[in-house]
Amino acid sequence: MSPSAADLRDFLAREIKFRELLRALIVVGPMVAAYFIARETALLNLGLIAVSLLIPALRMQLAPKLIAWHYLAILVTFAALFLAAPIKPLFVVLTALAGFLAVAATRHGEDFRTLGNWVFIPAVYLACEVREGVTASEALRHAGVIIVSSPISLALVCAIRIYDRQRRSDAAKTAFGPAAAEWFLPALATAMAVFAAAALVEIFDLAQGQWVMWSAASVVVGDLAASTGKLKQRAIGAVAGVPLGFLAGMLLPQSRVGYALAVLAATLTLTSFSRYIVGFGLRCFFIALAASFAGGASGIAEERIVNVLIGGTFGLIAVGLTEIVWLRGVRKVRSSG
């Protein structure tokens, strides 16, 4: 093998998590195939549920029983947010509560942040997505298809975990890291950021508002410096990926096949890349490309970029505010002591 070929292989091995990519393709691919057969757009959304179950299952080595509990948490949260959506104040409060609980779970083990994130993300995304641009009756039908068909996702993910445990003797985890000593402040910051983001979306009826709420929660990863770094990565990924996806879509004809494959690729980016900035940039690219294939790419570049930046800014402000309050509280305790 030539040095250049060996270098390329090593580079790809570092950047792409092929084991996770293959497993994600196994659980998401059937949803895309079902979409082609049934011509039911709701089936494509099952891919997000499947990959949301798969990521914690692989990272945390979950047993099928815990995967089933995770699945139930996603469905319950999605159903609650979907049903609350017509009542805007209630939707805002419940979305903020979901963000709080996603982080508060770390009081039982730091690994539960992964599990919490992958309840919050699919539930919020789907609750917004199924109502975007359709009537209430069509949204209800769409949600019903997702819920009724979702056991397929659970079965595929459980099958992969059973296979891995038999083939590689992967023991299911029974402990999930030490309990987070300071779980309340990050949970509070997440709730504040998501509340502000959801309120903004509902007040101004922002299209694709899930990007604002998702981004608000995503940047709350620790202190202000870490959160700022996360927002920079998301901003770079959006600024680079969305316009390129939009331009690529302009050069290609609208196509149902192209749309499905772009959605598949966007879903696979959630778990297939070692570096977050690469995965997020490609996710932005493929989502913009999918919108272009569906004939809805007008203004998407500015819309998605702005949504990412607005949500991330809310996250930074929330982290900054909670840090200030915490430091003042510590100073008061020390001075009174």
| Report for 53-57, 179-183, 287-291: range of highest mean pLDDT | 53-57
| 8 A C-beta contact, residue 152 and residue 71 | no
Question: How much is the pLDDT for 5?
Answer: 75
At residue 174, the pLDDT reads 62
Q: For residue 300, what pLDDT is reported? A: 61
What is the arithmetic mean of pLDDT over 19-23?
Answer: 94
Higher-scoring residue by pLDDT: 328, 231: 231
- pLDDT of 327 reads 67
Q: What is the pLDDT of residue 168?
A: 72
299 C-beta neighbours (distance < 10 Å), count: 11
Q: How many CA atoms lie within 13 A of 309 on its CB side?
A: 10
Say how many domains are in the chain.
Answer: 1
What is this structure's pTM?
Answer: 0.92
Evaluate whether residue 7 is within a structural domain: no
Confidence class of residue 20 from pLDDT cuts 50, 70 and 90? very high
Give SS3 for 172.
coil
Confidence bin at 115 (pLDDT 50/70/90): very high
Confidence of residue 172 (pLDDT cuts 50, 70, 90): low
- What pLDDT is recorded for position 90? 98
Residue 3 lies in a domain: no
Q: Please, what is the angle between helix 64-84 and helix 112-129, to 10°? A: 40
Question: 76 near 54, Cβ under 8 Å?
Answer: no
**In this predicted structure, which of 258-262, 323-327, 329-333 has the lowest mean pLDDT?**
329-333
Q: Is the pLDDT of residue 329 over 70?
A: no
> Is residue 2 domain-resident?
no
Q: What is the DSSP string of 261-277?
A: HHHHHHHHTTTSBSSHH
In a domain, 79, yes or no: yes
Amino acid 216 reads: A
Domain-embedded: residue 6:
no
Q: What is the pLDDT of residue 296?
A: 65
Q: Give the domain range for residue 322.
A: 13-169+177-335
Task: Flag whether pLDDT at 336 surpasses 70.
Answer: no
